[in-house]
Amino acid sequence: MAQTLRKPEIVSIARREGMVTVDGLVSRFGVTPQTIRRDLTELAEDGQLERVHGGAILPSNTSNIGYSERRGLNQSSKVDIARACAREIPNDCTVFLNIGTTTEAVAAELTQHEGLLVVTNNINIATALSDAKGIDVVVTGGNLRRSDGGLIGDLAKQTIRQFRFDYAVIGCSALHEDGDILDYDFLEVGVSKEIIGRSEHVFLVADATKFDRKAPARIASLSSAEVFFTDKPPPSRARSICQNADTRIVIAPTSG
């Protein structure tokens, strides 16, 4: 495949999978590693990708990528993470699920649970659980973020303050190697902090693409989570923080 055709395909794969690797692209296109590295360097110079060790990711900046693209990124791993998380949520409890495509995957895995009260600021989650007979759903108020169906702001926080949750399942936009849980929207960060403060058990769900992304607003530290569900081992400093805080890391088994 000519470079003019190969480079757009590389960007398309990165948008679909969250990242690309040199080895994977060599196998896909049947060219040399040097050719792929040159393609990735040129794409990075054009601002279409960001180079990381062994490959490239979508560029990091102060705004999130589109919801439909996020929903498709690393989707199989999100399902694996969601299944691992849902297995540790019992019947007959109160659960908060916040905004995010991975928390939406958790909602899909909870549909066979019984006796749950699910509170959410995610309209997509409310819709997904609307037919689940064993689950009652409460949707917070708040300002509607049309890009992804999230409810944010003071009204969302006021609803959350009316509850104590047995479990909170939260997602994030990025994870810093020093253990900071990060997001793009300051209004959403305020809601996430309120959720953590009102929950007995906090579960963080985030796939490994979040290790290579950047976002400006800090939600909390990994030490705030009781369990961190992911698909690959996090960076060493993040692992040390989890170990020191007794935050359990669960590497989800792959379904494939």
Label residue 149 exposed, middle or buried (CB < 10 Å: 0-12, 13-18, 19+). middle
- Check which CATH number belongs to the domain holding 143 and give it: 3.40.50.1360
* Residue the block writes with tokens 């929903």: 71
For residues 115 and 165, state if they share a domain.
yes
The DSSP symbol for 59 reads: P
Residue 188 lies in a domain: yes
Residue 136 lies in a domain: yes
| Residue 256 lies inside a defined structural domain of this protein | no
Residue 134 CB contacts under 8 Å (≥ 6 apart), including other chains: 91, 112, 113, 114, 115, 116
Query: For residue 62, what pLDDT is reported?
Result: 44
* φ, ψ of residue 102 in degrees (nearest 5): -75, -40
Residue with tokens 């379904």: 255
| Cβ-contact 235, 241 below 8 angstroms | no
Decide: 128 and 107 in contact? Cβ < 8 Å.
yes
Domain containing residue 39: 3-57
Establish if 170 belongs to a structural domain: yes
Can you tell me whether residue 165 is helix, strand or coil? strand
- What domain count does the chain have? 2
Do 91 and 116 meet the contact criterion of CB atoms below 8 Å apart?
yes
The answer on 75 and 45 residing in a single domain is no
Q: What is residue 78's predicted lDDT score, i.e. its pLDDT? A: 93
**pTM score above 0.85:** no
User: What CATH code is carried by the domain that includes residue 16?
Assistant: 1.10.10.10
Structure tokens at 178: 């020093």
Task: Please check whether residue 237 is in contact with residue 176, taking contact to mean a CB–CB distance below 8 angstroms.
Answer: no
How deeply is 62 buried, as exposed, middle or buried, from its count of CB atoms within 10 A (0-12, 13-18, 19+)? Answer: exposed
* C-alpha to C-alpha distance for 231 and 219, rounded to whole angstroms: 21
Residue 62 forms part of a structural domain: no
Residue ending a domain, among 17, 39, 57, is 57
Residue 154 contacts residue 168 (beta carbons within 8 Å) = no
* pLDDT tens-digit profile, the chain (256 residues): 677 789 999 988 887 666 789 999 999 999 999 999 999 999 988 888 888 888 888 765 544 555 555 555 567 899 999 999 999 999 999 999 999 999 999 999 999 999 999 999 999 999 999 999 999 999 999 999 887 889 999 999 999 999 999 999 999 999 998 899 999 888 889 999 999 999 999 999 999 988 878 888 899 999 999 999 999 999 999 999 999 999 999 999 887 5
pLDDT of residue 193: 95
